Structure 1
Amino acid sequence: MHDLVVDESSMARSGDIDIQLDNPMGFFETKRLVDTNKEIFERLGGSWELPPLLPTRWEQKPLLHWLHQFRSRFSSYALSTAWVDKDPRLCLTYPAYLHILLKRIPLVAAFRQPLQVAMSLYTRDGLSINHGLVLWIIYNFHLAAELSSDDLFLPYDILLQAPEVCSGSLIQKNVYQFLERCYHPRPADQDWQRLIDSSIKSELNRSNAVLMSESRLRVNTSLLNCCQQRYDRTLAATDWLNEFVNQFSNLPRPVLDEVVYEQIVLEAKSVEFKSVCDQLEIDLLALQEDYSLLNHKYLDIQASTSWRMMAPVRSLMDRFRFLR
């Protein structure tokens, strides 16, 4: 998408986070966007793996005033239409950027299979499969609330097939229509084909390689089925975007049950952690008392007459050791 909108190669982008093993072609995420989204999550008291369930009212004070500080950071974005940036956390933070950029930015949403997302988070970040599925639902729930008919919705698995189904495909048609709505010219067919061939590498989609381990992981089947049904229904529809919005108009019961369960587990671990901290505090107080007692004894020895009388002897012994 960058090469279709910006008049420069994606390889010439500056300010992106560094390429890593899990994304060898690059993340195409600028550090300023990633850092800002991190600050926004921290302001909400959460993180990308512990996001808020419900939308944030960014138009209310004091959050609205707090967002003003980021306007200078994104002034180049606010004054231009020829840029592309990416961060999955935009699913939740996107509404905040309306108050930062003072305009709505068109969205390109890539829709991935739920278990693939969960397995990717499991292998990369160590999150449980159930946690990954919950995040998949929550992120898509927030995204669905922000999508409009002018945005672009791309099923990830179908996008990976683009080199084979490129010419005249629904993917190509949707991308071209999106570019026209954003007042960007369509690429020539040969340029489109060249871009697809160079940008889409299905062999780098490694989440499929670890799906066999699903059987030995504790997966909430009700939660998994709930996610998979929403995914399948979206892709089976003729209008992907509209069906996606319908499928993710609410948070289903299995997700809420899993969130409550994880909260109970977290609270139990918190109680256990507090117990350990309390014991460490008791041990620390005991050590401090021992130190205070020994320090008093040491000071008493230094203040004694015998210690002062032996000072010359200790000095001679120190010099003797130095000469040796």
Structure 2
Amino acid sequence: MSKAIIVVGMHRSGTSAISGLLDRLGIFMGKHLYGPQKGVNEKGFFENAKIVEFNDVLFDAKVQAWDDPYAIEQSESIDPVYASYENVASDLLRSEYQGHDLWGMKDPRTSLHLAFWHNIFSNNAITPHYLLMLRNPMEVAMSLEKRDGFLIEHSLRLWINYTLSSILTIRSAKHIVVDFNQLIANPEQVLADITKAFDLSGSAGASDFIEKSLRHNSSLVESDTEIGKIATALYQTLLQDVIDFQQVTNIAAQYSAIIEHENVLMRAHCHRLKQEEIYYRQCFLEAYESVWWKITWPLRALEKRLRKNKP
């Protein structure tokens, strides 16, 4: 039986930073990791590209996306749409992590498919240890506004979706919640907490990976909207040393009530737009991989060269 450290939580919450720390501990994070990206994650994502691609396939099957304001998983029961992907997921884990008794997996998208993945781990004799990264929702919203141009209210919804989906799934499993502020302020203590909670071996100097420069946005401002207040309440609840899961359940119910009472036509419209996006993206990929498209590559290369040399 292998042991896996599964990093979950919202994008821009420090999941890459904590995964870099795990890498420094000698935890294998996967064969196909994305490289660093200037201005986004200079030290690297420590994110397995194959897992990301597969999670996006799961989103397509559910007609959702990572930035879908209505994508949330609040039930431990598994959506039937996942059934046809179980063998693929098992094969993927074997391909990426076989031969490693201790390994890690990080992709924030996993948070929205967590019941599915938890079942896959169980079916493959993998003992998951979940690490939920937590960050002030307004800081996350500011980061997404800067990177993707998202509205603050949109980002706050995403933060709630990812955070609720994570905590409601992992509450009965081995887990630890790590706050981004604490990680930046005292990485040595966070490292000690993780190694103790998950029975890992420490590594001298591993905490040096965490630098204060990893923080690009900070905020003491809270949103006074209904969604903003729910995000703040959930954040403060999860910061406690002992989490009150009844309070988490109450917050989830309050959030669900808001979604249920929203304009049905708007939700249907968002769903329809996502269907069209998936359809045209798949059409493009099929065309891009076609023989006829590849035949044109030399011609386009020649055209580019001629344009470059044109006086």
TM-score by length of 2: 0.66
Distance 1:146 1:233, change over 3 A: closer
**Counterpart residue number, 2:214:** 204
Matches of 1:157 and 1:125 in 2, distance apart?
Answer: 23
Distance 1:256 1:124, change over 3 A: farther
Matches of 2:83 and 2:116 in 1, distance apart?
Answer: 8
**Counterpart residue number, 1:65:** 84
1:63-107 deviation per Cα after TM superposition (whole angstroms, max 9, x unaligned): 323321232222043663322121111112122224444234211
**Counterpart residue number, 1:140:** 163
Asked whether the equivalents of residues 130 and 258 of structure 1 are also in contact (C-alpha less than 8 Å), the reply is no
Distance 1:65 1:115, change over 3 A: same
Higher helix share: 1
Kindly provide the amino acid, as one letter, of the partner of residue 115 in structure 1.
Answer: M
Specify every segment of 5 or more residues in structure 1 that has no aligned partner in the other structure, as ranges: 272-324
**Deviation at residue 154 of structure 1 after TM alignment:** 0.7
1:169-201 deviation per Cα after TM superposition (whole angstroms, max 9, x unaligned): 4x3442121231xxx3233xxx0xx2212x112
1:48 correspondence with 2:35: no
Q: CA RMSD in A?
A: 3.2
Distance 1:268 1:146, change over 3 A: closer
**Deviation at residue 256 of structure 1 after TM alignment:** 4.9
**Counterpart residue number, 2:54:** 36
Q: How does 1:224-239 map to 2 (within 5 A)?
A: 224-235=228-239, 237-239=240-242
TM-score by length of 1: 0.64
Distance 1:32 1:268, change over 3 A: closer
**Counterpart residue number, 2:104:** 84
SS of 1:83's partner is: strand
**Counterpart residue number, 2:248:** 248
Specify every segment of 5 or more residues in structure 2 that has no aligned partner in the other structure, as ranges: 1-21, 273-311
1:285-315 deviation per Cα after TM superposition (whole angstroms, max 9, x unaligned): xxxxxxxxxxxxxxxxxxxxxxxxxxxxxxx
1:220-267 deviation per Cα after TM superposition (whole angstroms, max 9, x unaligned): 6232222112222332x232xx34x44432525467536865765566
**Aligned residue pair count:** 243
Asked whether the equivalents of residues 91 and 139 of structure 1 are also in contact (C-alpha less than 8 Å), the reply is yes
Distance 1:262 1:175, change over 3 A: farther
Whichever of the two has the greater Rg, that structure is 1
Identity among equivalent pairs (%)? 19
Higher strand share: 2
| Correspondence for 2:206 among 190, 195, 199 | 195
SS of 1:74's partner is: helix
Distance 1:70 1:226, change over 3 A: closer
SS of 1:96's partner is: helix
